[in-house]
Amino acid sequence: MSNSSSSSNELFGYVAEFSSATDLYHAAEKVRDAGFRRWDVHTPYPVHGMDHAMGLGKSWLSALVLCGGVTGSMTALALQFFTQVSLYPTVVQDKPTNLFTIPAFFPVTFELTILFSAFATLIGLFALIMLPRWNHPLFNSPLFSKFSNDGFLLVIEARDPKFKREKTKELLSEIGAGKIEEVTY
Amino acid sequence: MAGLKDGDDYRDGERFKIPALLQLLCLGVGGGGTLLFLILSFSMSEKTGAMGYSWLFAVIFFLSLAVGGLFWTMLHHATNSGWGTVVRRLMENLASLIPFMLILGLPLLISGFGFRDKLWEWFPKREVALHHAEEAAKKEAPEYITARKAEVAKAVAAVEAAKKELADVASPSPGHRVHLERKIEELQKKADKFAKEDLSEDGAIATLTDKHFQHDEALLFKKRGFLNESFWWIRQIFYFVVLAGIAFLLRGWSLKQDRDGDPKWFRWMRRWSCGLLLFFATAWTFLVFDWLMGLDYSWFSTMWGVYLFAGAALNSMGFLVILLTLLRRAGYLKNVVTMEHYHLMGKLMHAFVIFWAYIAFSQFFLIWYANITEETKFFLTRNTGFWNTYTIAFLVIGHFFVPFVALLLRAVKKIPHILSGIAAWNLLMHAFDLYWIIIPERGPSLTAHLGKEGIAMVIPGAWVFDLLAFVSVGGLFGFFLLRQLASASLFPCRDPRLDESLNVVN
């Protein structure tokens, strides 16, 4: 409480509460149209179509996963070809030791593709959402704790170039926010 | 322009009007082609065998699309999914073509058409082997009965002799008595066993027939419980009843719901689909065992059923995408189907491209690695010469890598024309896949009797019949499909899940 009311600390942004997912959805559309970049919504459950309302583009994660998968399959193929075909040709059950040994290498290739894709997904996701971190200024807000219970929240950060202390607050109440809270670092 | 507009009531559904010209074209091509095919097969008796393979290829291709439609309908109910309610009627319509396709397959099953014995060699082989065995048995029977009777008499005499031996010993020691009693017991057992054999004339002939049959065609003898004509017919009837029956039942309930809007039908469809999936899987698995794996009765693969199922499910989804795009182009379903549905169907296609490749590769891999003579036969034929190039080009690259990479992109799945293009490509590859299963069997099978010098891998010129059969069956398939589409609303208009499906987001 003391944090939000004290003016000595630097402002992180506004947390605004909306009464329902529908209200939040429409509010998000308006904030998107107002041209804000550094903002987010927080809801107790996933809201279908919210990414569209927020104007979010396609995530880069799938590209990272593709890179992970390709790296995995190439690693597996290279490992097997170098050891089993080039360096030390291993004849098993009269199978060839050339390009046509490839069916024998498929299970490992498949597994490494999956493994590296999974690694890329996990690490890529953490990198994109900037986790792990010790704390977040939003945790200073008592209103924010409602996001996991019954709160439909919209957060606009102060570092957004369009952010104006008074005007943004006005905008939030205009688009139907109930409670608006200032969050400081 | 037909179709729902904004403000129209969804509950009344949307009716399809058959384009008369298209219907006539389908009927003309299909009916005329079929007639021509049958006339040709009767008039050119030396080509009948080769034409049987063509007809099987065409029928199984379109049958697999219909069966895939049934699978998607049942899966939709069994998993209680809501997204696809708007396209479910198309699946049901596709599934309702199963009886027509099975009836088109009937000429293959009836030996009078001359296809059956050329396709499935076990029929004539078994007949010949049984005939020879019976002849030999009849000849040997009297001699055999005399010989066996002598054996029986000998065994009985041995028992008597042993009994006499026991009686003759004045006062045997306990050990000796036990020894003799045991001997009598053993001899008695042997005599009883001999006496059990049916030594009437018919009995002897049956025993000898089995013996000769086993000697001449050991494999067919081993498999006689499955590969015999009466059980074979029972199975064909089972396939028809199960596949056509389920399709009829589910579509019937769905249509009833269109009329009275009673959610009872929805619950029935959901409840019955789970149990009926078992019968569906059994019927399709054994149908492809009988029709396709049976092309070479000496070869077997336990993955055969799921391999053909994967192809059927994938391409039936692809066919639905194309059908949907064509219908939308003609002005139907415009307000009902969204790009979200396309996206979902594209994702299912992608999943089944991978599933098909997984199954196909596993089947090949296990056989290739184990390298057991009786299993490698199938792939030896298809990994040699022309068929090897064919396999790599169409199955490895065409059927898997191309659609796999293409469908990786999300945007592609949301553009109907591009997705339909990929689906059409997949259908082409599916045709190549079935061609690859059926046709390499044709040359060796039909020329096997010519011996080592005369055997041919391909029958020259036979591809013309393949094409003719494909176009004919395809024409009739299109004709029946148009009629089924027009016979009811294009989507289940009073399904409780309709609202969910209309607004689906993924």
Chain A partners of B365 at a C-beta cutoff of 8 Å? 103, 106-107
Residue for token digits 């005499």? Answer: B157
Q: Measured between CB atoms, which of A58, A104, A107 is closest to B410? A: A58
Q: Do residue A51 and residue A107 come from a single domain?
A: no
How many structural domains compose chain A? 2
Chain A partners of B369 at a C-beta cutoff of 8 Å? 93, 95, 103-104
DSSP letters of B354-408? HHHHHHHHHHHHHHHHH--HHHHHHHHHHTSTHHHHHIIIIIIIIIIIHHHHHHH
Q: In which band, very low, low, confident or very high, does the pLDDT at A8 lie, cut at 50, 70 and 90?
A: low
Residues 6+ apart with CB under 8 A from B372: none
How far is it, in rounded angstroms, from Cα B52 to Cα B74? Answer: 32
Q: Do residue A90 and residue A40 come from a single domain?
A: no
Q: Do residue A113 and residue A141 come from a single domain?
A: no
Domain boundaries, chain B: 30-120+228-502, 126-219
Tell me, yes or no, if B371 comes closer than 8 A to chain A by beta carbon: yes
CB–CB contact A66 B368 (8 Å): no
Q: What is the value of pTM for the model shown? A: 0.89
Q: State pLDDT tens for residues B403-425.
A: 999 999 889 999 999 999 999 99
Q: Is A156 helix (H, G, I), strand (E, B) or coil?
A: strand
Q: What are the beta bridge partners of residue A15?
A: A155, A181
Q: Which residue range is the domain that position A87 belongs to?
A: 61-128
CB–CB contact B369 A93 (8 Å): yes
Of A96, A111, A128, which residue is a domain's last?
A128
Q: State pLDDT tens for residues B112-170.
A: 999 999 999 999 999 999 999 999 999 999 999 999 889 889 988 988 888 888 888 77
Mutate one of B339, B369, B397 to test the A interface: name it (highest A CB count within 10 A): B369
Tell me, yes or no, if B373 comes closer than 8 A to chain A by beta carbon: no
Closest-CA distance of chain B to residue A75, Å: 19
pLDDT at A4: 45
CB–CB contact B361 A103 (8 Å): yes
Q: Do residue A111 and residue A144 come from a single domain?
A: no
Q: State pLDDT tens for residues B261-309.
A: 899 999 999 999 999 999 999 999 999 999 999 999 999 999 999 999 9
Q: Do residue A109 and residue A66 come from a single domain?
A: yes
Tell me, yes or no, if B365 comes closer than 8 A to chain A by beta carbon: yes
The share of chain B scoring above pLDDT 70, in percent, equals 98
- By the 8 A CB rule, do B258 and B298 touch? no
Does residue A2 sit within a domain? no
Contact residues, chain A to chain B, C-beta under 8 Å:
48-49, 58, 62, 66, 93-95, 103-104, 106-107
How far is it, in rounded angstroms, from Cα A27 to Cα B287? Answer: 58
Element (H, E) at B306: helix B304-329
Q: State pLDDT tens for residues B73-85.
A: 999 999 998 999 9
Does residue A1 sit within a domain? no
Specify burial of residue B117 (Cβ count, 10 A radius: 0-12, 13-18, 19+). middle
Of A128, A146, A165, which residue is a domain's last?
A128
Does residue A145 sit within a domain? yes
